[in-house]
Structure 1
Amino acid sequence: MVPSVLADQHIQAPVVAPKALDRSVLKASHPNPSLQVTADHNLKSVDAPVYAPGHGEVLLHVKATGICGSDIHFWKTGRIGSLVFEGDCIIGHEASGVVLQCGEGVGNLRPGDRVAVEPGVPCEHCFLCDEGRYNLCEDVQFAGVYPYHGTVQRYKVHPAKWLHKIPDNVSFAEGALLEPLSVVMHGIKTAGLSLGRGVVVCGAGPIGLIALAAARASGAHPIVVTDLEPARLAFAKEFVPSCITYQVDRNKDAQGNAQAIRALFGDSEYVAPETILECTGVESSVCTAAYTARRGGTVMVIGVGKAIMNNLPFMHISLAEIDLRFINRYRDTWPPAIQCLSGGILDLKKLVSHVFPLERAQDALHLCADTRNGSIKVLVVDEQEASL
């Protein structure tokens, strides 16, 4: 899902030297193809160095990486809010792979383990990390966000603490989907869905579709999913047959679309949707969500939006006591997310619409960036044997 971001041009990210520059390079004969976004908004395929794992780290063979809307946005605009690409950086953060080597002090993993990558590495020293809210750490080193190299490469070093073993019945493709699933799980937990209460999911992109499936698995009912594109709504209906679809009417304002969505729940205020999972970040959609929620309800903004929104219906939100909430990525979600997939609670395999080999990673981004191609989740995979 491509975020809509009009960032404040005066915000500047701190210039930090890439951590990888301080590492020792392995004398390996195997190539390490990678895909980088450059500071001047281009894509570059590079044979990247292979670094030795340090204390507490492992060297991974990355087997699958999902392309995220943020990857496209960094490529096209060079920034999301205060996150600025000031140099070349390997992109990618939705990933899974196999452990190849373990550095000193690693006791929980060994070579051959299949793992999913939790891409954010917090400082673990600030008050937010001490409180367990490590997703809010301001010094997080997040894979694929400059200057920290991401996962669209064959070999990547990552701290063992932020890798999670995946069972044999979870494929590498599904392992890559654990990252967007984690986003949704954090949003649903924060929103507090109620069994048998109505929910609206705004947006039928990858995050919206995962939110749709997760809301259904959580017992929400009825569920309405909205989008501008009929093809996406058709897929949503196939993906979760019990959902109700609503095509957003471009000729109606936020209140008009909200009125039409609420009508799908019946005439009673009691059955009006209690929770809105806003998965687009588009300002007009956030406004529609605010008018759609029942009085005292919750609008959970999961999507990434522009830096400043000027037209939110402030007094409506205030008078109706709408709980407008936000999330930043996730925390403590990987173990339960893995259980959701391994236990059959969720089946997300249908979301993978296109698969590209690592050597064609540029093609993957070009396809994903053009909405006319109808992609849902695009994966970059590496089927090569990798050993060092």
Structure 2
Amino acid sequence: MADSIGDSNLSFILNKPYGVSFEERPKPTVGSPYDVLLAINYTGICGSDVHYWSEGRIGSFILKDPMVLGHESAGTVLSVGSKVKTLKPGDRVALEPGYPCRRCPACLSGHYNLCPDMHFAATPPYDGTLAGFYTSPEDFCYKLPDHISLQEGALIEPLAVAVHIVKQAEIKPGQSVVVMGAGPVGLLCCAVVKAYGAAKIVTVDIQPSRLEFAREYAATHSFTPERVSAEENAARLIKEAELGEGADAVIDASGAEPSIQTSLHVVRRGGVYVQGGMGKPDITFPIMELCLKEVTAKGSFRYGSGDYRLAVDLVSRGVIDVKKLITGTVSFKEAEEAFKSVKAGKGIKVLIAGPNEK
């Protein structure tokens, strides 16, 4: 119950690359009548968290002041503002860890994920969720059905990322889809395209263990690229997976330049290519393939309207099992060791228990 949660607001803070500390910060309060105060129960580690931890920046988002890490979280409602109608103390929620201005052209057109004034957790200068408590607008908290655990709730965030990517790809029943990268988002993309009715799902990675997991989880085929040209890897992939003229859609969830290059050679004429993974700011790109095939190329950034609700629904109905991705859970004090494990490529999804979890 909400009234049995401890009072520690111990926070995991990034001060500089590889320089972290634990600090007891003041417990936040509900500042807006539309906000809720959450006790954070579990937080997953995302690739972007690791990138900030190791590099101190992602593109133009640069760490300048100490920042609390973490954004893949589930929590328990402790208190609510006077205008909150859908949540009450004790409710368990998946937290969408960013809220927009609600007034700009992007927000008003339904693309709030593109809001230039997005307040996103653990993106400088905004603190993240690896703390005891966190405040959020009511409409960015999604109540979990009783049969979904808080651990599963923490994985709604990466699942929502995958949902948005697949929506961008416009997957239709019976199509063939290649997913580059078998990390958490890549695996979840495989699961979502399967839910959308894709007939052939090819997972691509260089780690045999991840490919094996992907085949057991959602993929129908797997492929290991070699140290050859993108054209050669693409030709072998198409042949081995029997893709004919190429895949209907290719999703890159790796951000790796060779994968991106191979993707444009794998997608069929008139197909769709979606860039979901983030890598180097600039890469060499096979633009001729894009033009000659009239490929529809799209970027994908976080998640938008309806993505979180669909993610919760897919888990609630048992269409996607996110529990299988959880490698393990560590205590809050073990957060730095968990970051080291994720950077070393160990496991799939590590969860950090909140400082008040027993």
Question: How do 1:45-124 residues align onto structure 2 when only pairs under 5 Å count?
Answer: 45-55=22-32, 56-124=34-102
Measure how far apart 1:116 and its partner are. 0.8
Secondary structure of the corresponding residue to residue 294 of structure 1: strand
Cα distance in 2 for residues equivalent to 1:52 and 1:166 = 23
Cα distance in 2 for residues equivalent to 1:93 and 1:385 = 17
Cα distance in 2 for residues equivalent to 1:290 and 1:135 = 26
| Structure-2 residue corresponding to 1:32 | 9
Contact 1:61/1:156 (8 A) holds in 2: yes
Contact 2:176/2:243 (8 A) holds in 1: no
Determine whether 1:137 maps to 2:115.
yes
Measure how far apart 1:351 and its partner are. 0.4
| Structure-2 residue corresponding to 1:230 | 208
Of the candidates 167, 181, 185, which is equivalent to residue 159 of structure 2? 181
CA shift in 2, pair 1:362/1:131, >3 Å:
same
| Structure-1 residue corresponding to 2:293 | 320
Secondary structure of the corresponding residue to residue 347 of structure 1: coil
Measure how far apart 1:238 and its partner are. 2.1
Measure how far apart 1:267 and its partner are. 7.0
Measure how far apart 1:41 and its partner are. 4.1
Counterpart AA for 2:260: V
CA shift in 2, pair 1:253/1:48, >3 Å:
same
Cα distance in 2 for residues equivalent to 1:376 and 1:41 = 21
CA shift in 2, pair 1:145/1:265, >3 Å:
same
Secondary structure of the corresponding residue to residue 315 of structure 2: helix
Identity, in percent, stands at 37
Cα distance in 1 for residues equivalent to 2:69 and 2:243 = 48
Measure how far apart 1:102 and its partner are. 1.4
Measure how far apart 1:384 and its partner are. 3.5
Q: Which sections of structure 2, spanning at least 5 residues, go unmatched? A: none
Measure how far apart 1:46 and its partner are. 1.3
Contact 2:38/2:133 (8 A) holds in 1: yes
Secondary structure of the corresponding residue to residue 58 of structure 1: strand
Cα distance in 2 for residues equivalent to 1:80 and 1:316 = 28
CA shift in 2, pair 1:262/1:34, >3 Å:
same
| Structure-1 residue corresponding to 2:323 | 349
CA shift in 2, pair 1:196/1:385, >3 Å:
closer
Question: How do 1:153-232 residues align onto structure 2 when only pairs under 5 Å count?
Answer: 153-232=131-210
Determine whether 1:330 maps to 2:327.
no
| Structure-2 residue corresponding to 1:268 | 244
Secondary structure of the corresponding residue to residue 102 of structure 2: coil
Counterpart AA for 1:174: E
Cα distance in 2 for residues equivalent to 1:156 and 1:50 = 8
| Structure-2 residue corresponding to 1:375 | 347
CA shift in 2, pair 1:31/1:313, >3 Å:
same
Cα distance in 1 for residues equivalent to 2:17 and 2:259 = 31
Counterpart AA for 2:308: W
| Structure-1 residue corresponding to 2:224 | 247
Secondary structure of the corresponding residue to residue 79 of structure 2: strand
Measure how far apart 1:359 and its partner are. 2.3
Contact 1:71/1:91 (8 A) holds in 2: yes
Measure how far apart 1:268 and its partner are. 3.4
More strand by share: 2
Secondary structure of the corresponding residue to residue 110 of structure 2: coil
Cα distance in 2 for residues equivalent to 1:354 and 1:278 = 26
Cα distance in 2 for residues equivalent to 1:267 and 1:60 = 48
Of the candidates 233, 237, 250, which is equivalent to residue 257 of structure 1? 233
Point out 4+ residue stretches in structure 1 off by more than 4 angstroms.
none
Secondary structure of the corresponding residue to residue 164 of structure 1: strand
Counterpart AA for 1:347: D
Contact 1:89/1:150 (8 A) holds in 2: yes
| Structure-2 residue corresponding to 1:17 | none
Secondary structure of the corresponding residue to residue 38 of structure 1: strand
Cα distance in 2 for residues equivalent to 1:155 and 1:201 = 36
| Structure-1 residue corresponding to 2:313 | 339
Cα distance in 2 for residues equivalent to 1:54 and 1:106 = 12
Q: Which sections of structure 1, spanning at least 5 residues, go unmatched? A: 1-27
CA RMSD between the two structures: 1.6
Measure how far apart 1:40 and its partner are. 4.8
CA shift in 2, pair 1:228/1:253, >3 Å:
same
Counterpart AA for 2:29: A
Deviation digits for residues 56-100 of structure 1, max 9, x if unmatched? 211111011110000010011111111111111101111111000
Cα distance in 1 for residues equivalent to 2:140 and 2:204 = 34
Counterpart AA for 1:330: Y
Cα distance in 2 for residues equivalent to 1:206 and 1:88 = 27
Cα distance in 1 for residues equivalent to 2:229 and 2:48 = 28
Secondary structure of the corresponding residue to residue 297 of structure 1: strand
Cα distance in 1 for residues equivalent to 2:230 and 2:195 = 29
Contact 1:54/1:104 (8 A) holds in 2: no
Contact 2:10/2:355 (8 A) holds in 1: no
TM-score (norm 2): 0.95
